[in-house]
Amino acid sequence: MVEYIGVSDVSRFVTSLGLGPFLERLAAMMEADYRRWDEFEKSARVASHSAVGVIELMPTSDAQFYAFKYVNGHPKNTARGLLTVTAFGLLADVVTGYPLLLSELTITTALRTAAMSALAARWLARPDSRSMALIGNGSQSEFQAVAFHRLVGIRTLRLYDIDPLATAKLVHNLQAMPDLNDLEIVRCASAAHACQGADIVTTITADKKNGVILTPPMIRPGMHLNAVGGDCPGKTELHVDVLGMPNLETFVEFAPQTRAEGEIQQMPPDFPVTQFADVVRSAEPLQRRPETITLFDSVGFALEDYSALRFLYALVQEQRVGRHTIDLIPTLLDPKDLYGGTIGASRSRLRRAS
């Protein structure tokens, strides 16, 4: 039998641990896996694009586990009352090839994206960063806000979305969280207004287009840019001139994938970037000058989903109450008799019953 984790199970895990501690543990697991970068098979995701969205498969493996995620991105879905992003994933045993866990990854993708954003900021942003602009207040914004508050120490959140109802939703949800009592929330009239006084700027918009959310005049020396929304060909959030700014250093998850899907798709193939794994594995800490602008050009990478599935599998073992299994793989007395142990056995039971 294969372990199964549904939406209600992930919600139960998060409620039991607390959203902040859950994100912190997940970030720690991702950091540990990024330190093992060379142990993983790595490839860009396999994407099927249409005029209205994209469906992707994201695989990776090491010597112990194989993992993949199925995920879609359809920005127009909300007009139909549907989610923009849905996902599920599987964790398998490399030695036997048997699946161990089938899990929802819609909520978990939002959790791992936020955890990865905050983890990168802990390494790349100025240690004294306390104010963040959050531009795009949709379905992932609460997770980003909590992750940066918990892992980075953000105490002022400057919000902007072209849809004021999205901002109102975010404010309502954040104010209902008791752990965020010390978080100052500022509603802003524009993206430029949100950036004023911000140490970190997170862009996480949904439209599948070459957007211009950030322009050079909005950015000041010492900022950290967490560009999350641009994550497929033809979908960006930063004006191309931002990428050419002096003192900008760009960091990515997996360079071959980001060059096709991230903000740097706007730049020549030899545009200089540093992979995040090289930062966390370096013997020397990152030397960040006060005037340096750091950009984490995040498109999401399969290693993060591997970490998330491994984390969920560990939680299943820890919290044995309410576990679910599904009969995805046959259990046979004779592994060479697939027919007799499945269809043949069912036919025999039917004959005996009649």
CATH number of residue 7's parent domain: 3.30.1780.10
Q: What's the number of domains the chain is made of?
A: 2
Nearest to residue 240, comparing CAs of 276, 208, 202, 213? 213
Interval 119-139 mean pLDDT: 96
- Find the CATH number of the domain harbouring 210: 3.40.50.720
Residue 122, pLDDT score: 96
Residue 50 neighbours by CB distance under 10 Å: 8
Residue 86 neighbours by CB distance under 10 Å: 17
Pairing of strands 87-93, 65-73: antiparallel
Entry pTM:
0.94
Q: Is 344 within a domain?
A: no
pLDDT band at 320 (very low <50, low <70, confident <90, very high): low
**47 and 172 share one domain:** no
CA 220 – CA 213 distance, rounded (Å): 15
**57 and 120 share one domain:** no
Quick one: CA torsion of 32, 35, 41, 42, rounded to 10 degrees? 100
Q: Which of 9, 199, 231, 305 is catalytic?
A: 231
Identify the helix (H) or strand (E) that includes residue 123. helix 106-124
**145 and 260 share one domain:** yes
**320 and 212 share one domain:** no
Helices 302-318, 19-35: axis angle to 10 degrees equals: 120
Residue 129 predicted with pLDDT over 80 = yes
Nearest to residue 65, comparing CAs of 332, 313, 338, 330? 313
**259 and 320 share one domain:** no
Query: Which conformational region is residue 81 in: left (phi greater than 0), alpha (psi within -120 to 50 degrees), or beta?
Result: left
Check if 231 is active-site.
yes
Reduced DSSP (H G I as helix, E B as strand, rest coil) percent helix, strand, coil of the chain, to 5:
40, 25, 35
Give the model confidence (pLDDT) of 228-252 as tens digits. 988 888 889 999 999 999 999 999 9
Residue 209, pLDDT score: 76
Interval 80-105 mean pLDDT: 96
Distance from the Cα of residue 315 to its chain's centroid: 19
Q: Which range is least confidently modeled, 49-58, 134-143, 315-324, 336-345?
A: 315-324
- The per-residue pLDDT of the chain, averaged, comes to 94
Residue 206 predicted with pLDDT over 80 = no
**Side chain identity, residue 186:** V
**177 and 290 share one domain:** yes
Q: Is 350 within a domain?
A: no
pLDDT band at 350 (very low <50, low <70, confident <90, very high): low
**44 and 85 share one domain:** yes
Residue 87 has φ and ψ, to the nearest 5°, of: -160, 155
Q: Is 349 within a domain?
A: no
Give the model confidence (pLDDT) of 267-291 as tens digits. 999 999 999 999 999 877 777 888 9
